[in-house]
Structure 1
């Protein structure tokens, strides 16, 4: 009888753990922590070079989406809003919309963030600087860029027209992406595989008693008392088998 009570308590503890909403694994380096570290490092690099990142959660995808809102805006030398803008005014405006302060002119913008070694390694949201530091564009990926080209033209998307040797520098101001937060228990696909129940494999009635719970992807859909009752019933059947 004492042994049976002990097994019931073990089942109760296991089911309590399974029904908990989230379980965070401490001291485990995940993709999210790595991405956060990258974002922090990029923020430091940009700040040290004259940029201020007030929103470190911004990604390259956010940059490209913000930039495309200005398609069709006419080129105006010295302009920096939707009535007209030049290449560096466009870049400054896009990042300002995302809570990121960058310098106004290309010669300063080409020094912030971190340098990307080659066009092959460029990611959406990176900045391409050419013409000896006189022109800057936003890389969109898939060999496309968005820029304010010159007087008489509008902000537009074109193929990357410069060769590797014609690019003075490629700057990454924000991370290309940020991994989603994860937990040690992302979901429960079924109670039959729970490691906490492996010690009960000798109870021949356990599978039948828990048969109604097999495949339950969300333990919270049933009350804890229901789970415990089912486990206790299985235990009794196992002892009588």
Structure 2
């Protein structure tokens, strides 16, 4: 777990404790309908915080260690730098590389460690169900698990073909039936490219946006959810950034 995540979760937990205390105080004053409504609002907000916290750990288990903050587009761009490098069996640098050597080199350039051989790369990350769901940066294993390519989007791939050829950016030539597996190494692009504060927890955007929306919506109904608490929650969710 990164230092930024640890700090963000610490802030969230502090706010959750504050909300629970406020909710308890509101319950003690439950003689009025306004206090009852405030307690319910705080309970809902606390539940959303719990959801965000519990899913934070799950986000870290997807993809490969070190892939947080890396986009599929960045993978494609890193691979494009090797276009024209000759195919060399067992090679894994700009002097020559084979298909799995290209994959390992590209991800290493982005600070992500993946296995060296196709047999290991085809189990890395998380599975993608079909070509229709593939995104740039995904790995596609073909030819009975003997070849691997980097999907570049728009039905194009980047790969090191075979002896006598060079690393190439070409149209996809294989069909769905030729694919052994598709693996996603970096988080889904759409969950990774929207603006976030520097300390935000990667992969949690949807939960956090729902949470902040809930805070804003409930504030008018809660006597204890004031502007300072809203600001503190927003800062914790977005790592100090603004929306």
Larger Rg, first or second structure (1 or 2) = 1
Paired with 2:186 and 2:58, the residues of 1 have a C-alpha distance of: 9
Structure 2, unpaired ranges of 5+ = 1-44, 198-207, 210-219, 221-243
Q: Is the partner of 1:70 in helix, strand or coil?
A: coil
Q: Is the partner of 2:182 in helix, strand or coil?
A: strand
Structure 1 residue 37, shift from structure 2 partner = 6.9
Q: Among 53, 61, 64, which residue is 1:41 paired with?
A: 61
Q: Is the partner of 1:99 in helix, strand or coil?
A: coil
Instruction: Please say if 1:170 is aligned against 2:179.
Output: no
When residues 158 and 151 of structure 1 are mapped into structure 2, their CA distance, relative to the original with a 3 A threshold, is: same
Which residue of 2 is the match for residue 159 of structure 1?
A: 171
Contact 2:157 2:172 in 1 (8 A): yes
Q: Is the partner of 1:146 in helix, strand or coil?
A: strand
When residues 36 and 173 of structure 1 are mapped into structure 2, their CA distance, relative to the original with a 3 A threshold, is: farther
Structure 1 residue 36, shift from structure 2 partner = 7.0
Paired with 1:39 and 1:57, the residues of 2 have a C-alpha distance of: 12
Structure 1 residue 110, shift from structure 2 partner = 0.1
Instruction: Please say if 1:150 is aligned against 2:170.
Output: no
Paired with 1:140 and 1:40, the residues of 2 have a C-alpha distance of: 24
Structure 1 residue 54, shift from structure 2 partner = 2.4
Cα deviations across residues 164-211 of structure 1 (Å, max 9, x unaligned)? 000000000111320321799xxxxxxxxxxx9xxxxxxxxxxxxxxx
Paired with 1:39 and 1:151, the residues of 2 have a C-alpha distance of: 40
1:77-116 alignment runs, 5 A limit: 77-116=89-128
Q: Among 111, 128, 132, which residue is 2:140 paired with?
A: 128
* Number of aligned residues: 151
Structure 1 residue 160, shift from structure 2 partner = 0.8
Paired with 1:129 and 1:160, the residues of 2 have a C-alpha distance of: 12
TM-score w.r.t. the length of structure 2 is 0.56
Structure 1 residue 114, shift from structure 2 partner = 0.6
Q: Is the partner of 1:54 in helix, strand or coil?
A: coil
Q: Is the partner of 2:81 in helix, strand or coil?
A: helix
Contact 2:62 2:187 in 1 (8 A): yes
Paired with 2:109 and 2:59, the residues of 1 have a C-alpha distance of: 18
Which residue of 1 is the match for residue 195 of structure 2?
A: 180
Paired with 1:106 and 1:165, the residues of 2 have a C-alpha distance of: 18
When residues 39 and 89 of structure 1 are mapped into structure 2, their CA distance, relative to the original with a 3 A threshold, is: farther
Which residue of 2 is the match for residue 63 of structure 1?
A: 75
